Amino acid sequence: LMDRLKLVLQYFQSNSESISNGICIILSLISVKLYTSFDFNCPCLPQYNKMYALGVMLVPPIILFLLGVLVSRHTGVLMEEWVRPLGNRTKNPAVVKFLLSSMLQRALLAPMVWILMTLLDGKCFICAFSMNVNPKYFTGIPNSTGLELIKIMAKVPCKEDVIFKNSSFRKAVSRYVRCYSQAIGWSILLFFIFLGAVGRVLKPCFNHATFLQTRYWSNYLDIEQKLFDETCVLHARDFARKCVVQFFESMREDVTVRMPLSNALRPSTIPNEYEEEEEERLHGITRQDQVDNLLQTWYECKPELDVTKMAYKPKVCITWEDHNGKALFSEV
């Protein structure tokens, strides 16, 4: 069981699309839990019923949508690709549209779950539109209370109200409005299922190669940014370690050791694998101005999408001199 769980976690960690899908599912489950635990209390007042009911139906979906946009990995990649300077790499509008579509599809899942639940439950719809029902189609209206008809209809969502005691009017109106609410909910659900099925069937009829290219480059942008961030973290760790070590070494007292220079023992022949590995991870970027210039260049001028061009690698030449300044030998 633990091995399977580890494989699932590794899959989600290595796949941004799966992470986005998982987050959308979690937000949908949260919306279901919030709605089931939410205590809906219609005010049963003509001037507040519709405002309260529509607020409950629409405000939480807006919040869930903004949360979906906020936590989506595609949002960051989309904005970075949209606002970056051209540099050596042109922008592909198809990739931007694909990222926007993916982000919106996932962000809209949780809001649609909330709206469908409110429509299928019917409480919000009854609270909002009970006043729009024509009471002449129903019998048993409590007209002996002295209240205006609009106020009586506004009290339909409140089953505990005393004016509906021993009367079937409230239940009949509630059933009528709930039927409309559920019909709208099931129609919306059927529409989205039909839309998804049509899109799935017609997808191979269009240029599938273009879709594959667009998906490839959208995944590339995500992976490229991840690798750059990971490389920056490794560089920052080694850079910080080197700064700290230099600080500690600068606090030591100088020790002078005199010994003759021997061809058999040169400083370059003493291996230090850890320092070599550390220098390799630093990539020659060893000063603050170099780091700032690197980050600025990455933002303003992304590298070309051509790995056949070898990047120029600067060489390091070490020259050994005697005490008179005469060069003894050099190494590259």
Residues 44-89 have pLDDT tens digits of: 898 899 999 999 999 999 999 999 898 888 888 888 888 888 878 8
Domain boundary among 200, 222, 247: 200
Same-domain check for residues 211 and 188: no
Same-domain check for residues 173 and 217: no
Same-domain check for residues 39 and 186: yes
Burial readout 78-92 (b: 16 or more C-beta within 10 A, e: otherwise): beebeeeeeeeeeee
Asked if the structure places residue 38 within a domain, the reply is yes
pTM of full prediction above 0.85: no
Asked if the structure places residue 275 within a domain, the reply is no
Same-domain check for residues 235 and 121: no
Return d(Cα 191, Cα 185) in angstroms, integer: 10
Tell me which of 91-105, 140-154, 206-220 is least confident: 140-154
- What are the pLDDT digits (tens) for 103-149? 998 899 999 999 999 999 999 999 999 999 988 888 878 765 556 88
Same-domain check for residues 153 and 89: yes
- What is the domain count for the chain? 2
Asked if the structure places residue 187 within a domain, the reply is yes
Q: Which three-class secondary structure state does DSSP give residue 119?
A: helix
Provide the pLDDT for residue 256: 61
Asked if the structure places residue 308 within a domain, the reply is no
Asked if the structure places residue 301 within a domain, the reply is no
Asked if the structure places residue 325 within a domain, the reply is no
Average pLDDT score, the chain:
82
- What are the pLDDT digits (tens) for 227-264? 999 999 999 999 999 999 888 888 877 666 565 655 55
Q: Which helix (H) or strand (E) holds 58?
A: helix 49-71
Return d(Cα 211, Cα 221) in angstroms, integer: 16
Asked if the structure places residue 92 within a domain, the reply is yes
Distance of alpha carbon 308 from its chain centroid, rounded? 33
Same-domain check for residues 195 and 220: no
Same-domain check for residues 30 and 136: yes
Residue pair 45/53 in contact by the 8 Å Cβ criterion: no
pLDDT at 271 over 50: no
Same-domain check for residues 97 and 226: no
Burial zone of 140 (CB within 10 Å; 0-12 exposed, 13-18 middle, 19+ buried): middle
- What are the pLDDT digits (tens) for 22-46? 777 888 888 888 888 888 889 989 8
Same-domain check for residues 152 and 167: yes
Provide the pLDDT for residue 270: 47
Task: Give mean pLDDT, residues 270-282.
Answer: 62
Asked if the structure places residue 239 within a domain, the reply is yes
Q: Helix and strand tally (H, E) in the chain?
A: 12, 2
Same-domain check for residues 103 and 46: yes
Q: Which three-class secondary structure state does DSSP give residue 30?
A: helix
Same-domain check for residues 106 and 224: no
Q: Which long-range contacts (CB under 8 A, 24 or more apart) does 179-188 make?
A: 180/125, 180/129, 181/119, 181/120, 181/121, 181/122, 181/124, 181/125, 181/126, 182/119, 182/120, 182/122, 184/119, 184/125, 185/116, 185/119, 185/120, 186/120, 188/112, 188/115, 188/116, 188/119
Residue with tokens 């219609």: 42
Burial readout 279-293 (b: 16 or more C-beta within 10 A, e: otherwise): eeeeeeeeeeeeeee
Return d(Cα 262, Cα 172) in angstroms, integer: 106
Same-domain check for residues 195 and 211: no
Query: Which residue, among 55, 34, 42, 47, has the nearest Cα to 177 in the 3D structure?
Result: 42
- Which domain range does residue 251 map to? 206-256
Q: Which is higher by pLDDT, 6 or 115?
A: 115
